[in-house]
Amino acid sequence: MAANRKLRLILCFLITSALWAAPPQPPRKPRLVLAIVIDQFRYDYLLRFRSEYHGGLARLLDKGAVFTDAHYLHATTVTAVGHSTFLTGAAPSVSGIIANEWYDRATGATVTSVSDAATKVVGGIPGATGSSPRRLLVSTVPDEVKMQGAESKTIGISIKDRSAILPAGHMADAAYWYDSDSSNWVTSTYYRAELPEWVKKLNSEHPYRRFIGANWLPFDAKDDSAKPFCTMVAGTEVRYCGSLEATPWGNEMIEEMAERAISSENLGHHAGVDFLAVSLSSNDYVGHAVGPDNPAIRDISIRTDILLGKLLDFVDQQAGDGNTLVVLSADHGVAPVPEVNRKRNMPGGRLDKDVINGKIAEALTKRFGPGAWIVPGSPANMPYLDLKLVSTLKLNLAEVQHVAATAAAGVEHIARVYTAQDLATGAVQQDAISRAFTLSYYGPRSGDLFLLQEPYYLFDASGTSHGVPYNYDNHVPVLFLGPGIKAGTYRGAIAVNDIAPTLAALLGTNEPSGSMGRVLTEIFQ
């Protein structure tokens, strides 16, 4: 018996040692990364309509890694900044993407985050100026994969050029966006001289024609007697949708384009990992028009879930089950419509840019003399001062900024005003909001003043908007699903900036050059 026990112990020891010695199995690498942004999709949209999701969002929520407390680090929660952060992990202070558009001091013109006079649109109105990622100063995860050298493809798709271009990065094979002037899917000469045949074919099918004169009915409407959310027919009693982009059909067109890209570009079948970055824009257009509390938001959210289910099914079928890593987030949330808030005894209201700029100009004129102090066309929340005037009068810029800031801060419902000097030198109140503004400041591009309104106040004259570091704008979904991902609900606070370094770790590639997130190791299998 004693010998038997000894033998068992030895066997046990050998087996245990063998297990200890076995190298850890690296998780299977995905063949395709499907990186999805829903434009203007607040975190609470996952909760509010959860019981009605049975498609793609439901699949991600049930089988994926779900982060319940993901926020952006930056203050300027707008589309270009959210999309540039998504796959770079970089804040605007490093990526250089400080807003959707800004005043370019060198040329004296307003530029967008992706406008590029050196390029032309391909596939749209002949001769129209194109777009490119040249203003993005950092790499994306797909760029890092490409720089590693393995054969891989990256495609970006959205209605908006910035949302197609910025996640895909510099080395993308193409970014395609919807050009409403020509009603075509287009790209720019930055990527290629001509549209590929499959895009030409889709354009020749004129997908938009399916929706001419259509009514947007509830997703579960039994027949045409239901009340439409809006109509594509102008001049009726029903609200006019405005454009195809501002209906769920805009998203349907994006999804159709994504399916064509997957099959035509053979995504998921290259030696290296492929990337498809898809941004669903219509949620944003609808959200701006009606606000988060309108029934149309429930409808388009449920339709988004259904549409994502279709896309995920297609991806599995094309790239093979379990070969795709899906990551989904949103570029920002949205504020309630101020009038809706007021009715329910919540704070909120609208601010007038002209009034604020008038106060600033008045204070500067009083102190330093008359002049066109503010550059015309400056954004309401980030005025640019006329630096030539400051220099001609031999003034100290920091002092001029300070006088302007004091005037702006005196306007009712302006919560804070930072100057460029404050942010550049760190002379700010030490809290999360100041940090968010510091991370949003990039000297060569930013304005002179940074205005933050009180929560629920907007600079817009109608509808609603986003763009501040309050929770309703910066708390968004972050969901992962696919090989190597441990499903579960993760309640700890994370930054959306963590997505990029996490993808880099999962794919075994360099972290993007400006990434400032951490690797979400808790979701690794």
Residues contributing to the site for Zn ion (CB under 5 A) = 39, 79, 284, 331
The answer to whether the beta carbons of residues 470 and 36 sit under 8 Å apart is no
* E runs forming strands in 72-143: 101-104, 109-112, 115-122, 129-131
Nearest-Å Rg of the Cα atoms of the chain is 25
To Zn ion, the closest distance from the beta carbon of 60 in angstroms equals 20
CA 28 vs. chain centroid, Å, equals 28
> Nearer Cβ to Zn ion, position 284 or 386?
284
> Nearer Cβ to Zn ion, position 146 or 466?
466
Amino acid at 143: D
To Zn ion, the closest distance from the beta carbon of 32 in angstroms equals 24
Q: How far apart are CA 324 and CA 314, in angstroms?
A: 11
> Nearer Cβ to Zn ion, position 102 or 418?
102
Q: How far apart are CA 55 and CA 74, in angstroms?
A: 31
| Residues, the chain | 525
> Nearer Cβ to Zn ion, position 39 or 144?
39
Amino acid at 10: I
To Zn ion, the closest distance from the beta carbon of 48 in angstroms equals 19
Q: How far apart are CA 489 and CA 142, in angstroms?
A: 27
Amino acid at 94: V
To Zn ion, the closest distance from the beta carbon of 113 in angstroms equals 12
Q: Which residues 6+ apart lie within 8 Å of 429 measured at CB? A: 416
> Nearer Cβ to Zn ion, position 39 or 116?
39
> Nearer Cβ to Zn ion, position 71 or 260?
71
Burial string for 389-399 (b: 16+ CB within 10 Å, else e) reads bbeeeebeeee
Q: Distances from the Cα of 426 to the Cαs of 165, 387, 420, 434, in angstroms?
A: 32, 22, 10, 9
Alpha helices in 344-386 (DSSP H): 353-368
> Nearer Cβ to Zn ion, position 286 or 407?
286
> Nearer Cβ to Zn ion, position 274 or 331?
331
The answer to whether the beta carbons of residues 163 and 38 sit under 8 Å apart is no
> Nearer Cβ to Zn ion, position 140 or 215?
140
To Zn ion, the closest distance from the beta carbon of 254 in angstroms equals 14
To Zn ion, the closest distance from the beta carbon of 466 in angstroms equals 7
**What are 67's strand-pairing partners?**
478, 490
Q: Which residues 6+ apart lie within 8 Å of 145 measured at CB? A: 152, 154, 272, 273, 275, 507, 509
To Zn ion, the closest distance from the beta carbon of 485 in angstroms equals 26
**What are 516's strand-pairing partners?**
none
